[in-house]
Structure 1
Amino acid sequence: MKAEIIFPLIYMICLLILVGPRFLDMNSNFRQFLSNLSIWAIIVLAIATGYQGYFYFLGR
């Protein structure tokens, strides 16, 4: 694997290890957990769509 694949994976795993326990602790209520998870899903989808759109329209 190339470094441009390995380093983001390592970064994401470390970030999940650091943020994950606090996220689960704050979201002890299942309804609140789903609400926060849906907000994060929307944020991730917006970033992924922007990233793909950038390379589709400007990467040529």
Structure 2
Amino acid sequence: MVFAIPLAWLQLIRERIRLLVAIAGIAFAVVLMLMQFGFRDALFQGSSALPREPKHRYCAH
């Protein structure tokens, strides 16, 4: 098991383009997940908030 880390590192460095594409793909997936979390939080926050004032004057209370 002593050679496990250097061997893995050599395999990653050997094909740099593949490594960069893989890192870019993972970063893109993380960005998409963070955007989805933001959209979800905005949806929950917007749907549970009470309106501050009516947007039109045709509300009969």
**Normalised TM-score (structure 1):** 0.51
Between structure 1 and structure 2, the one with the greater Rg is 2
Gaps of 5+ in 2: 47-61
| Structure 1 counterpart of 2:12, from 7, 19, 27 | 27
Q: Corresponding residue for 1:41?
A: 27
Q: Indicate yes or no: 2:45 matched with 1:52.
A: no
Q: Deviations over 1:16-52 (max 9, x none)?
A: xxxxx6xx73522210111101110111011100011
The structure where helix makes up a greater share of residues is 1
Percentage of identical aligned residues = 8
